[in-house]
Amino acid sequence: MSFTHRFDPTTLREYDIRGIVGRTVCPEDAFAIGRTFGSIVARSGGRTVAVGYDGRLSSPMLEEALVRGAAASGLEILRVGRGPTPMLYFAAVTLETDGAIMVTGSHNPPDYNGFKMMLSGSPFFGAQIAELGDLAARGDVVAASAGTVRDVDVGRAYVARLMADWDGGGRRLKIVWDNGNGAAGDILADLLARLPGDHVLLNGAVDGTFPDHHPDPTVPRNLEHLIATVRETGADIGIAFDGDADRIGVVDDTGEIVWADQLLVILARDMLRHHPGATIIADVKASQTLFDEITRAGGTPLMWRTGHSLIKSKMAETGSPLGGEMSGHVFFADRWYGFDDALYAAIRLLGLVAHMDTRLSAVRAALPVTISTRETRFDCADTRKFTVIEDIAARLKVDGSAVSMIDGVRVTTPDGWWLLRASNTQPALVARAEGNTHAGLDRLKAALVAQLERSGVAAPDFSGDDAGH
């Protein structure tokens, strides 16, 4: 039987395939992804693909169709079941599969879902996803044949491996965990049963309707339950996960948010004690404080493009032991496998906190203080967003501004810096600015707005958006 399939073009994104269930993503799309990705694996000489799924209501249906498609390519499909995305990555690495696909909507609203992929141990993204869409549209797949499907339980091995890097010394901690009703629920329960400490678990049940709050720990309002519980219980730390547990959120013992770049400062200082001079990677949205503190600790900071697949690839290229993004992705290649895993990041962080001779809040408070806007996204058509960046970059070069074009434009002035980049996943531009003073931040925002206006783009409203950081 011949096979062709056309995906809704809005679903073929830079890092994954993702859309609204029943509108832009359906079981037929899942089958086509399995059939086409399976063909790519087979043509590369591969034989096995691991498949997992998150806790969304639509995930079992999409996973079943995905498995049928991949098996029709003649492969052996290892179904690892429901769990966090990092568990699927762990299965792919430790079982040495040739490919892996995770059915997950990550931190998107409940009616979204999607697919993250690995090929030969590396992220499958960008041009590879575009090629997958082209192959499906042309029906360019291997001849259909009957593969095999079997269930594989990796949960216990994954928890055991997480615990293998737990530093059991130091003081006993009281920890509040917020699973956000995400996919980590069952694994997290098993982990806490083995992890020393006094644990309070919020929203532990896997529930794809996310009844308590949206599972995105980068948004402060989603941390309100965690913050309140840390303060009520006198906990040492609070930890939150996104919907598929590849991103982490942290609050200190006073309930203040430890932003991702501040978390990376803490992790990098420890990493550089063991790996002096190592390259530590962070994305362009991170505070200048992070890059300065890496240098101060004897490391080599590297600013790189936003995107978990891009950071992972750059770490592999440079041999970096640690990387991260402002979105809460943290990547350990030291004693771990180089992929983003919020559960593993929590284990490493808790080991550090347990050995601190002061409270986490004191460490956070001792970091240099800057004033920044939050990440601001605003609409700009896909056909226009990259052109806007190119136009602004050309003007900045003529003006002689100190500009980095690693990912969009990041402009540094004596007041601090501002960033404007095109989203890789939405028809939007992304802006952020960080100043040394409130007056300096106002000047940075004014410069950013002026550039947008010169390009005919309505500027976002930054008023009331400043925060100490």
- The DSSP string of 206-254 is --TT-SSS-S-TTSGGGGHHHHHHHHHHT-SEEEEE-TTSSSEEEE-TT
Distance CA(316)–CA(28), nearest Å, equals 34
H-helix or E-strand spanning residue 283: strand 279-283
With contact defined as beta carbons under 8 Å apart, do 317 and 293 qualify?
A: no
Q: Which of 39, 106, 287, 309 is catalytic?
A: 106
| DSSP calls for 112-148 | EEEEEEEETTEE--THHHHHHHHHHHHT--PPPB--E
- Closest by CA position to 417, among listed 432, 396, 430: 432
Token pair for 78: 């290892």
Contact assessment for residue 324 and residue 330, using Cβ atoms and an 8 Å cutoff: yes
95 touches 89 (CB < 8 A): no
What span, in angstroms and rounded, lies between the C-alpha atoms of 342 and 250? 10
Distance CA(370)–CA(457), nearest Å, equals 28
Coil, strand or helix at 179: coil
Q: CB neighbours (10 Å) of residue 164?
A: 9
Q: Is 464 helix (H, G, I), strand (E, B) or coil?
A: coil
Distance of CA 408 to the CA centre of its chain: 19
Taking the C-alpha atoms of residue 103 and residue 110, their distance in angstroms, rounded to an integer, is 13
d(CA 289, CA 336): 26
E-strand stretches of 256-401 = 257-258, 279-283, 300-304, 322-324, 330-332, 371-373, 376-379
Concerning whether 106 is annotated as a catalytic residue, the answer is yes
Q: Is the dihedral of CA 170, 87, 308, 222 positive or negative?
A: negative
CA 439 – CA 70 distance, rounded (Å): 57
Dist CA 254 CA 464 (whole Å): 24
User: Are 281 and 340 a contacting pair, CB within 8 Å?
Assistant: no
Q: Which of 13, 85, 18 is nearest to 53 (CA)?
A: 85
Distance separating alpha carbons of residues 156 and 329, to the nearest angstrom: 23
Beta bridge partners of 53: 82, 103
How far, in Å, CA of 421 to CA of 310, rounded? 15
Catalytic residue positions?
106
